[in-house]
Chain A
Amino acid sequence: MGCAKPRVIQAGDIADAMEKLCISACCNLPEENLERIEAFAAREESEVGRQVLEMILENHRLAAREQRPACQDTGLAVVFLELGQDVRIEGGDLATAINEGVRRGYEKGYLRKSVVAEPLFERKNTRDNTPAIIHTSIVAGDKLKITLAPKGGGAENMSAVAMMIPAAGVEGVRKFVVEQVRKAGSNPCPPVVVGVGIGGNFEVAPLLAKKALVRPMGSKNPNRAYAALEDELLEAINKLGIGPQGLGGSTTALAVHVEYAPCHIASLPVAVNLNCHVSPHQSITL
């Protein structure tokens, strides 16, 4: 048995890939996002709501055509890395390479720099949108998959986590998720995408909710019970009447994505992470 030779990836190539990903993710939205908005526009009950959805579609097409960010809030650069354990990175360290790519991408792409270095006292803008928020998983294989989900502040501010007791059950989860979207109202730029994380613990549930948002919009959880819960939540949310931009209507959410994980016998953590209708994300594998 010989040792598998590691596959070398240059840090410079990671930075280059990250730079392109920042610009592309903000300007070129996933095709399924637009298809989903079109489908909801066709059955939106409010005339003003339909008009708003048409404007949103026009905006998203214009963004791709002219390579402009669909939303001025190009967000914090939230990065999910799946790093194959047979990869060896040379020519620099991983976090520095990611941040270098963010710095160049946000500058060259005319994207907004929305990071303050310290949250409470000075709140001084770092002027280059770094640091990125990086979540790394070590996986089998010799590839590096980078997923970027630029995350705006408006929808993020309307997110929440609840540490429920197991007795709260499905009904407790349903009430919490629907109530969170109701309270958010017009703030998170509806129609929203609702990321729900159930299980894990106090820090895992929100991370699951965020990961749920990078699934293709409208995709189903492979577990049938959770897929049914997604459908049920979407239906309940779209009865709230909030509608496109909160002006009233039947399209409050475009999709509900639920992710789950094992948890403690005493716990039922639930997190809701909202995303706006722009919902940008894109991946690349090196």
Chain B
Amino acid sequence: MAKHITTPLSDETVASLKAGDQVLLTGVVYTARDAAHKRLIALIKEGKDLPIDLQGQVIYYVGPAPAKPGDPIGSAGPTTSMRMDPYAPTLMEHGMKGMIGKGMRSQEVRDAMVRHGAVYFAAVGGAAALVAKRIKSAEVVAYEDLGPEAIRKLYVEDLPLFVIDDIHGDDLYEQGVAKYRKA
């Protein structure tokens, strides 16, 4: 049974999630990929304000396809999260509570999740047309010049996700492989 959770994520919600849980997430999430992360981190280094308030927020690592007429967004599956590993701990320091992507995170990022009380979810990579059906609205809120890599504010309803890394340091990828590995 999937748990229903909403954003912004409270500390209680984050603490209740365990690696292996299936969740349906509802609420606002922000999109950002490599190029947007690079700019956010540069602003933090310069001590400037960010274009989005990260408190309790969830960042979805996605560069969506363009919307067809009448749709809020085009196909929008997760991109590989490890490319954001160099930036993620700093964003957690600034209040980010959740990340959605696909693929393994570095030990540094997992340690930062334990330290800051944040969680990492995976969406099903390559099921991008299906994921887009759960996105009800989308607007560019920063870095429009980056095209697919701009920061978008999405409103999602019952987005199906797996909890990969929780605040206890457990990791679903490690558990899954350990269970089914035969050689």
> Which residues from chain A sit less than 8 Å from chain B, CB to CB?
45-46, 48, 52, 55-56, 58-59, 62-63, 66, 68-74, 110-114, 123, 125, 127, 153-154, 157, 185-189, 236, 239-243, 245-250, 276-278
Contacts and interface: CB of A to CB of B under 8 A. Distances in A.
A185 B172 CA distance: 12
Interface of B: 22, 35, 62-68, 74-77, 79-80, 82, 102-104, 122, 124-130, 132-133, 146-149, 160, 162, 172-173, 175-183
Contacts, number: 167
A189 B180 contact: no
B77 A187 contact: no
Contacts of B75: 63, 68-72, 112
Contact of B180 (A46, A63, A111): A46
A117 to B, nearest CB: 12
Main SS of chain A's interface residues? loop
Contact of A112 (B22, B65, B177, B178): B65
B87 to A, nearest CB: 15
B127 A249 contact: no
B65 A69 contact: yes
Contacts of B160: 55
Contact of A248 (B35, B65, B80, B176): B176
Nearest to A68: B129
A72 B76 contact: yes
Contact of A72 (B63, B175, B176, B180): B63
9 contacts: A46-B180, A55-B124, A70-B75, A72-B74, A112-B64, A154-B125, A241-B178, A242-B180, A243-B176
Contacts of B126: 56, 59, 70-71, 189, 276-278
